[in-house]
Amino acid sequence: MKNFVKSWLSKRSIEFKVNLSILTCIFLCFLGLMYIVSKKSEPIIKDQIDTIAQKSIEMYATDFAHLITDAERIIITTKNTLTQISKDNTKTLNMVLSSALQTVYHSELTFTNGWVYVFPPEDVSRGKLYLATDTGDDDIIDFKTEKITNFYDRFPWFKQVPKEEIIYWSEPYQDVESGETVVTCLMPFKFLGQKEFTGLVALTVNVSEMQRNSLKGSSFYGNGRLLLISKSGLYVTHPDPNIALQMTIFQLSRRMNLPQLGIVGKNLAAGQSGQAEIPYSSVVDGPAIFFYAPIKNIKWGFCLVYAKDELLKPIRQFKWVLGLSLLLSVLLLFLFTERIGHHSVSQLNTLCNVAEKYGKGDFSENFDEMPTSSDINRLATAISEMRSDILEYVNKEREEASEKQKGESELEIARHIQKSALSNKYPKSEAFDIATMMIPAKQVAGDFYDFFFIDDNKFAVVIADVSGKGIPASLYMMKAITLIKNISRSKMSLDQVFDHVNKQLCEGNDACMFVTAFMAVIDLLTGKTKYVNAGHTPPLVANNGEKKFLDVETNIVLGVKEDATFVEEEIDLEPGAHLLLYTDGVTEAENIATKFYGNKRLMKVFDSAGTNAANNLSLVLKDIKKFVKNNPQSDDITMLDFVFKGYEPGTIIMPANVERLKDFLMYLKDDMGKQGLSKKAVFNMVMIAEEAFANIAQYAYSIKDNATVTIKTRKEDGMYYVKFTDNGRRYNPLKNKMPDITLDLKQREIGGWGVLLLKKLADSASYKWLNKQNVLELGVKVKK
């Protein structure tokens, strides 16, 4: 999935990606912002609402309390007046009552009635009631006086009234006549000169009216519904008529199983304000929040009830507004960035189209009008400059190329000639190790080296340097290399070889080219080495613990003087000796200070040379490079290292060639004759040695060039052994399948006799694969 998105994205245009990333960023920012705002704002708004609601209810309670205070003040004033008159002064009594009610008229209270009850101290239930009732018409009060026989029937709650000079508020009740909810506030008093309470002064006020009046000055948040709860927890007002004046908050709490309601009731009774969340309220028909506050002096309480949903409505509205504005902003931004992106990219696209044409080699188009955007303008300027640079360069190149091409192809040909002329197959032999190295200079010179067998045990090494450079030098080199190789095979002495080569190189040498050359022929069996020189730098030789430049007769170079003569010289190489042949490209390698590498340095590095020819050459090369450093190479560097190892006694080396079979067998017969083997033993050994040699020549070598087999003979403990060692393919002739000799002639296969003969005629035969060489040893008993 991740990969899919990746690959999908990689295929979109920059424009798309830029727009996508900007929009994503902005969207995420907004989303984050919205999250924070909605998370943080909700409690703030809720707090705000709570505070407003709480304040409303408290204010309302306070206003109501003021009305209560007004009513109480009227009662107290009236009582104070009554305590100053005598019991029987009924005239005054009516007047006092009337003036009290007049005060009510001027307050915000609405009274239903006001009365004074006078009773004998011994029997409260029998007395005289002075009743003043509101007629409904302005300022007209209806006075009535009646004898009461059972006061408690009329005012059952009176039983609870303490016999103290304090104001007592009855529980609210419904007025029989008006049907309004009323509450009576009364106070016991003593007439002048009396010791016991013999009177009551009371005022019945309209609660609903009080509630309405207290609402006038205050307002509360939203559609709150107001509940008035009396001291005992009775609902004074409630939308449900079955609850209003019928049921207390505690009863409802129990019935509805809403303990939260009970707590509200208790807190109100204790005079505390607060708020509560109620899971269900019949007032709002759902979850509700109650804000409540006590009405201090009468221990009543108010509840402001909100539907929870309604209270949170503004928060939801706020969230909606926020979300919509987010969407709108993103939409606007999208349009905006899309336009900007499209504009920038269209400029880029123009650049792309032009650059694409340039890439295809069409430089005809240039910018008609430079892009306005500063960075794109820079790019366009760069491309435009590039165009003119390329055009200039291409024209210059075109001119140069045609000239250069000529020269280069010539160089290639010369290099090819030189490379193909050089031997690159190193003969494998235990008698010596050879390595060559040629690092051509930039311009092809005519250096060459060569190595080849002159006969079985004579190995020739040649190094030469043709004057001049290029194709002519290469062709002259070819001629020289071919002459030297061919003429040396005639088995003439080396001075004669060079004499012949010289004469033929002189022929038709109009260009006056010449060759310096050194050649040595090493007898691998004896180490006797013959050499001849034609004006070449003398090779380095390490022999017998001595290192020196070989003493050579310089002689004249080849190809110049037809009657020149050469001198063959000789040195005996001991096993471990080695020869380093090189051209002047080595000693005359130049560093930046135009100093030559020189003989001294070459001699010094030659000190650390070992028996591995290839290592020796890389050692020298490393030293040259260290000296020359970065200076360009001016001449070919050509080297040949020959390490002579020699043979153990009784060893011969034969080319692994079946044509040489008879030579080998004749040598073997001769050797066995000298060792005094019986005629039968000689016959058997010839038979099996032929088999071994033919096998090696035919099977072990796939490349016949320069392949050799080393043959070592020895006589030991009445046995004569011939050991064949070769570097060919791994091949064990003793493992060959034997033909079934019991079969009838007709069924016989034609081949496979060799292994049979080996097994039947040899007295011992062993094969080993040792150091990547096949080692086969055959033995016969000397006397047979």
Kindly list the residues in this chain that would bind another protein in the complex (CB under 8 A). Answer: 658-659, 661-662, 680, 683, 686-687, 690-691, 694, 698, 739, 741-743, 745-746, 748, 750-751, 753-754, 756-757, 760-761
Which residue's CB is nearer to another protein, number 270 or number 750?
750
The interaxial angle of helices 598-606 and 613-628, nearest 10 deg, is: 140
How big is the CA angle at 663 (ends 660 and 665), to the nearest 5 degrees?
A: 105
For residue 83, with 0-12 CB atoms within 10 Å meaning exposed, 13-18 middle and 19 or more buried, which class applies?
A: middle
| Shortest reach from residue 686's CB to another protein, in Å | 6
Beta strands in 70-220 (DSSP E): 111-118, 127-134, 141-148, 168-169, 173-174, 181-189, 199-206
Taking the complex as a whole, the smallest distance from the CB of residue 479 to another protein amounts, in Å, to: 28
Based on CB atoms, which residue is closest to another protein, 256 or 694? 694
- Dihedral, CA of residue 378, residue 384, residue 389 and residue 392, to nearest 10: -170
CA atoms of 482 and 500, how far apart (whole Å): 12
Q: Which is nearer to another protein, 130 or 453 (CB)?
A: 453
CB of 677 to another protein, least distance (A): 14
CA-closest candidate to residue 497, choices 448, 565, 451, 421: 565
| DSSP string of 754-767, one letter each residue | HHHHHHHH-SEEEE
Give me the least distance between CB of 509 and another protein, in Å please.
Answer: 36
Q: Which of 485, 480, 443 is nearest to 464 (CA)?
A: 480
Work out how close the CB of 566 gets to another protein at its nearest, in angstroms, rounded to a whole number.
Answer: 32
Q: How far from 232 is each of 86, 281, 300, 355, 444, CA to CA, in Å?
A: 36, 20, 8, 94, 126
Rounded Cα distance between 520 and 744, Å, is 59
**Residue closer to another protein (CB basis): 622 or 679:** 679
The span from the CA of 267 to the CA of 271, in Å, is 6
- CB of residue 684 to another protein, shortest distance in Å: 9
Q: Which is nearer to another protein, 580 or 692 (CB)?
A: 692
Q: Which backbone phi and psi does 720 adopt, to 5 degrees?
A: -120, 125
**Minimal distance in Å, beta carbon 715 to another protein?**
22
Residue 172 per-residue DSSP state: P
The minimum distance between CB 427 and another protein, in angstroms, equals 21
Minimum CB–partner distance for residue 533 and another protein (Å): 35
Nearer to another protein, 161 or 687 (CB): 687
Please identify, using beta-carbon distances, which residue of 690 and 763 lies nearer to another protein: 690
* Minimal distance, residue 664 CB to another protein, in Å: 11
Q: Closest approach of Cβ 549 to another protein, in Å?
A: 42
Report the nearest approach of another protein to the CB of residue 721 (Å): 20
Count the alpha carbons within 13 Å of 9 in the hemisphere toward its beta carbon. Answer: 11
Residue 628 or residue 672: which is nearer to another protein going by CB?
672
User: By C-alpha distance, which of 134, 129, 161, 123 is closest to 146?
Assistant: 129
**Shorter beta-carbon distance to another protein: residue 428 or 781:** 781
Q: Which of 543, 546, 544, 498 is nearest to 520 (CA)?
A: 498
Cβ proximity to another protein: between 548 and 783 the closer is: 783
Question: What letter represents residue 693's amino acid?
Answer: F
> Whole-number minimum distance, CB 524 to another protein, in Å?
23
Token pair of 735 as six digits: 């493992």
- Among candidates 569, 564, 572, which has minimal Cα distance to 553? 569
d(CA 227, CA 237): 5
Distance between CA atoms of residues 762 and 756, nearest Å: 10
Give the nearer residue to another protein in terms of CB position, either 443 or 678: 678
**Given the complex with another protein, which of 75 and 755 has the nearer CB atom?**
755
Q: Considering beta carbons, is residue 141 or 758 the nearer one to another protein?
A: 758
Instruction: Decide: helix, strand or coil at residue 128.
Output: strand
Cα gap 609→541, rounded to integer Å: 11
Tell me how far, at minimum, the Cβ of 742 lies from another protein, in Å.
7
| Distance (Å, whole) CA 231 – CA 413 | 126
Phi, psi of 492 (to 5 degrees): -75, 165
Indicate the pairing of strand 708-716 with strand 719-726.
Answer: antiparallel
312 vs 687 by CB, closer to another protein: 687
Separation CA 679–CA 173 (nearest Å): 161
Nearest to 230 by CA among 185, 289, 282: 185
- Which residues on neighbouring strands pair with residue 185, listed in sequence order? 169, 203
Residue with Cβ nearer another protein (153 or 749): 749
Tell the smallest beta-carbon distance from residue 774 to another protein (Å): 19
CA 355/CA 362 separation, integer angstroms: 9
